[in-house]
Amino acid sequence: MPENAIESILQEKRLFNPSPEFAENAHIKSLDQYNELYEKAKADPQAFWADLAEKELHWFKKWDQVLDWQPPFAKWFVGGKLNISYNCLDRHLTTWRRNKAAIIWEGEPGDSRTLTYGELHREVCQFANAMKQLGVKKGDRVGIYMPMIPEAAIAMLACARIGAPHSVVFGGFSSEALKDRLEDAQAKLVITADGGFRKDKAIHLKSAVDLALEHGAPTVEKVIVVERIKEPITMKEGRDYWWHDLKKTASADCPAEEMDSEDTLFILYTSGSTGKPKGVVHTTGGYNLYTHMTTKWVFDLKDTDVYWCTADVGWITGHSYIVYGPLSNGATSLMYEGAPRPSNPGCFWDVVEKYGVNIFYTAPTAIRAFIKAGDELPNARDLSSLRLLGTVGEPINPEAWMWYHRVIGKERCPIVDTWWQTETGGIMITALPGAIPTKPGSATRPFPGIIADVVNEEGHRVPDNAGGYLVIKHPWPSMLRTVYGNPERFRKTYWDPIAPIDGEQVYFAGDSVRRDEDGYFWIMGRVDDVMNVAGHRLGSMELESALKSHPAVAEAGVVGTPHEITGEQIFAFVILKNTATPSDELAQELKQHVVMEIGAIARPGEIQFTEALPKTRSGKIVRRFLRQIAAGQEIVGDKTTVEDPTVLDKLEAEIAHKR
Ligand code: PRX
């Protein structure tokens, strides 16, 4: 986030109260009601969650124990049996919702499809049976590499139905990144499509799967392919199957497997500051409950709402707030295949008008792009159906918040700025729109049941308005359970960085935060070597190893620099081997190389060739200095931590010269 945005957040004093009409009709109607719920949950979290689990979800068998907490390992609703696909589908079929739209889908070329709960249930059952026919069993991992088409949600729900943990890989990741993730998860099956449409282009997915399987991922036995773009692809006999062929013989009778509350529901890979992306593990019962409750209260969901979250199912936001949370509530969830694009930068507003969207949830980077595209686009559409707006993924600067409030919300719609992470599974800090007055740029208060604090490394609470580390004190139902195959990394990354508080380990979020005198949280950004580019999370080391895999590169140091639209952009310092010479062509080639290694979201904005990088005596790159240099700022901090401080002066001069 740009420095000036941080400055303005610090000075932000405006307060927006929910309108009396909104509050009156909301699930949580007042600050008093929120405070009461919050205190009740804090006093006895187990009773609070158990009560909601009983009321809001269907259980085949009730749990024996609400929480088993052996820090840092938590188990929720121990002994309970349920199936999230049952909660998202079957239980609605015996109500009037059977013929209610579950998914309204709009394709980028303008094609569309609506699936009622009854139809979605049928599709999911057929898909589940098709997977079974191909030998997929409970516990087998399934990779999903799909465009934003209904089959992506169908595939996820079908996996959940038979108890096969899914691992969705964002369609924008390269074959190399896909291969790494399939290997780590030891996936048995991959579900993909011939391709999808995004930003006026056809994206080819099946060819990327072919390449990934050619280079590795030996555990993958079968591939199911959905036809979308209808361009020729290669189908390997005995390995690859068209979904439309399997469907012809797949029965629609597939009772949901009785899953243990703690059975793995999915693995989702996300970037950290070190090493390869981590497989974040989420389980069934706690995740189902938490995403259900947050969807209901944060989005103040009503049965008549058309709800639209613009994320991709490849990210946690898509998992929790396109698929599981909304469908568990019996909502109508809108799914859009594309993104604002040159041929139609106002496409989101077309969709809002076409379907009368009531709740709209997007990312600050998109809002900043809308601002740039001009008010004419939203002003030319009827947005009067909107009643609630949301944002997620990165800090929102107050200017963007105010624009969203004024131009999209017509000063009528509350805005929920929701802070959370892949690891948290669901929204953690957020306004409840009928209850909590909002301040532009603040995610406001913790959701009931979430005990958040701002501390220093020793675990001591810092005074109001002083920045510190964001920690969560008590396990919550949708908390990640471990890092797939690496419990040590789980402990080290999230539980070791902060000293125990009152003898109890706390969850370290990796974000810096300030809490103001009203108890509002202002997220400032990551404190580790994780970048947030257009709301996408990328690790410095992962980008550095992508660069280092190019034959011309000897060393690389990668940091984020502030960017007007994407929040941050990738800035790479590169030392070439003595066999290579710096040139613009080589810089372009290296950018393309990173795209091939990771995906288009990881394309560096700038590459700076240099001769040396600032390193500690033990050889670690000091990225904090690189960050300042790349942003053209004066270097602050103790330069003597760098083995050869003259490197810093040299780099500074090189950048100054370039500008
Ligand atoms: O730095 C925070 C930022 O996004 C990180 C989590 O990224 P990811 O796991 O990809 O999940 C994104 C969607 C949930 C956080 O550590 N972040 C997310 N939401 C906000 C945010 N920063 C500020 N305000 C937010 N509302």
Interface pTM (ipTM) of the complex?
A: 1.00
> 298: number of CA atoms within 13 Å, CB side?
34
Please name the residue whose Cα sits nearest to atom 21 of ligand 1.
394
φ, ψ dihedrals at 158, nearest 5°: -70, -40
Name the nearest CA neighbour of 476 among 510, 502, 446. 446
**pLDDT at position 656, please?**
86
**pLDDT at position 9, please?**
54
Cα of 533 to ligand 1 centre, how many Å?
Answer: 11
537 Cα nearest atom in ligand 1: 10
Give every CB contact of residue 51 below 8 A, 6+ residues apart in sequence: none
Residue 550 is labelled as binding a ligand: yes
Residue 490 in tokens: 């789980």
CB 19 within 8 A of CB 438: no
Angle between helices 540-548 and 584-597 (to 10 degrees): 120
Name the nearest CA neighbour of 155 among 246, 221, 217. 246
Choose one of 493, 532, 536 to mutate for the ligand 1 pocket test, by most ligand atoms within 8 angstroms of C-beta: 532
The span from the CA of 469 to the CA of 492, in Å, is: 16
**pLDDT at position 657, please?**
85
CB 204 within 8 A of CB 231: yes
391 Cα nearest atom in ligand 1: 26
Ligand 1 site residues, Cβ closer than 6 angstroms: 270, 316-317, 392-395, 417-422, 443, 509-511, 523, 526, 532, 537
Q: Give the CA radius of gyration of the chain.
A: 24
Longest pairwise C-alpha distance within the chain: 72
Query: Which stretches within 250-338 are classed as H helix?
Result: 285-298, 316-318, 325-328
Please name the residue whose Cα sits nearest to atom 6 of ligand 1.
421
**pLDDT at position 5, please?**
46
Residue at token pair 């008010």: 375
E strand or H helix at 555: strand 553-563
Q: Chunked in runs of 10, what are the mean pLDDT values of the chain (659 residues)?
A: 48 89 98 98 98 98 98 98 98 98 97 98 98 98 98 98 98 97 98 96 97 98 98 97 97 98 98 89 98 98 98 98 98 95 94 98 96 96 98 95 98 98 98 98 98 96 95 98 98 97 96 96 94 94 96 96 95 96 98 97 97 93 94 90 93 87
423 Cα nearest atom in ligand 1: 9
**pLDDT at position 272, please?**
87
Residue 527 is labelled as binding a ligand: no
Give every CB contact of residue 247 below 8 A, 6+ residues apart in sequence: 126, 127, 130
The span from the CA of 59 to the CA of 45, in Å, is: 20
Residue 395 is labelled as binding a ligand: yes
Residue 69 in tokens: 């907490």
CB 158 within 8 A of CB 247: no
Choose one of 168, 392, 401 to mutate for the ligand 1 pocket test, by most ligand atoms within 8 angstroms of C-beta: 392
Please name the residue whose Cα sits nearest to atom 25 of ligand 1.
419
**Helix, coil or strand: residue 60:** coil
In angstroms, what CA-CA distances link 109 with 205, 227, 387? 18, 15, 27
Name the nearest CA neighbour of 559 among 548, 574, 576, 549. 574
443 Cα nearest atom in ligand 1: 26
**pLDDT at position 2, please?**
42
